Amino acid sequence: MSAISSDGKILSVDGRGAKYNTREDIAPILDGIDPTKIHEVHFGGNTIGVDASLAIAEFLQKASNIKIADFADIFTGRLISEIPQALTAICDALKDKTSLVEINLSDNAFGGRSVDPMVPFLIKNRSFQVLKLNNNGLGPAGGQVLAGALLESATLSKKEGTPSNLRTFICGRNRLENGSASAWAEAFAAHGGLVEVRMPQNGIRMDGIIALAKGLAKNPKLQYIDLQDNTFGEEGAKAWANSMRAWPDLQTLNLSDCFLSANGEVPKLISTLAEGSNPKLQSLQLQNNNLEGDTAQLLAENIMENMRGLKSLELQENDFEEDDENLEALRVSLKQRGGKLFVTDEDEDEDEEEEKEKEERAEKEAELEMDLEEKAFKGKTEKNEADELADLMSNVKIQS
């Protein structure tokens, strides 16, 4: 299987489950390829040793047009002592790449002990826009180190009079907790141009949530926020309510499993949304927050006027009555605009079935279009052959 795309711009061995230990192991992948023509490299889903990483780094140093560097899940089975050396080689090779747009280092068991090799890259390379660090076991200490590096990067950009390029930050399942939340908040505030932030399942509690609300409020272009499975509490929800109007372009908000409800009252955050704080909001996820009937009523009363853009509302595993008329009103309102309400498992199953039917219809339409093209081509070919035969017969008659 070739590792190079047909246009010669993408080098990918993604998901092969291969072991690249030595230079000799990786040589068949890299040999004969002009690194200056490569725009993307995808090494994820393999296990890469130190020597192989050094060979890849040498290749990357010559990749003057690199835009996407995917090194997710490349250390499975590696000793903890190997990771810093391999990571240093890769990050050092990329730190001067002004063409780089996205780097993905997710699903690598760094732990807080192995983050230092990333620091020079995060500080010096101020061109990349997308940073993916999902599921790396960073912990509070590792989170503080990386957040500090991003803060320094933003500070240097400001001194140079250039805006930050960072737009997307994905860092879920890392046990960041409150210990690093304030550092992340400060870094986010300094960058100021974030469009997408995903930090689910990090054990961040109320004080950290309050800090993040204030830091992210300095990013007026935010469109996507995912803080699922962290702990807001009443004060956290209030802090976020105060920040919601800072994001006029917000389209997706995932606050499932966030302990929003307090004493059966409608959380201030949801009241703010219902008042129309984010008119472009399309997807709102509020599963498993102990929300009750008053919340359903408030949303039902405001969905037509103040939440006109909403297309998907997920309220599973809350404390609503099954026959709550407000849920039915929400269902009808969303359906009228081509959207959907999710409250039960049946809603999810129905949505999956609808998606499956859409995919099947798309496949059938593609097949039909291909058949029509083949028939048209065949008809054109037969006509050409008939015309050629007629010309030949005419020439024969003229000669005779």
325-383: pLDDT as tens digits: 999 999 999 999 999 999 998 887 765 666 666 666 767 776 777 667 666 656 656 66
**Alpha carbons 313 and 273: distance in angstroms, whole number:** 12
Residues 270, 259 share a domain: yes
Residue 170 corresponds to which amino acid? I
Residues 386, 276 share a domain: no
Low-confidence ranges of the chain (pLDDT < 50): 400
Tokens of 301: 């009363």
CB 190 within 8 A of CB 166: no
Residues 170, 129 share a domain: yes
Residues 399, 313 share a domain: no
Asked if residue 79 belongs to a domain, the reply is yes
CB 289 within 8 A of CB 258: yes
Give how many domains the chain has, as a whole number. Answer: 2
Q: What is the pLDDT of residue 112?
A: 87
Residues 154, 80 share a domain: yes
Residues 364, 285 share a domain: no
Q: Which residue range is the domain that position 381 belongs to?
A: 355-400
Residues 191, 133 share a domain: yes
**Alpha carbons 371 and 366: distance in angstroms, whole number:** 9
H or E element in which residue 191 lies: helix 177-191
Residues 69, 126 share a domain: yes
Asked if residue 2 belongs to a domain, the reply is no
Residues 6+ apart with CB under 8 A from 181: 204, 207, 208, 209, 211, 212
Residues 62, 46 share a domain: yes
Residues 122, 91 share a domain: yes
**Alpha carbons 271 and 275: distance in angstroms, whole number:** 6
Residues 381, 265 share a domain: no
Residue 254 corresponds to which amino acid? N
Residues 210, 98 share a domain: yes
Supply the Cα-derived Rg of the chain in whole angstroms: 27
**Alpha carbons 100 and 126: distance in angstroms, whole number:** 9
E strand segments, 133-219: 168-170, 196-198
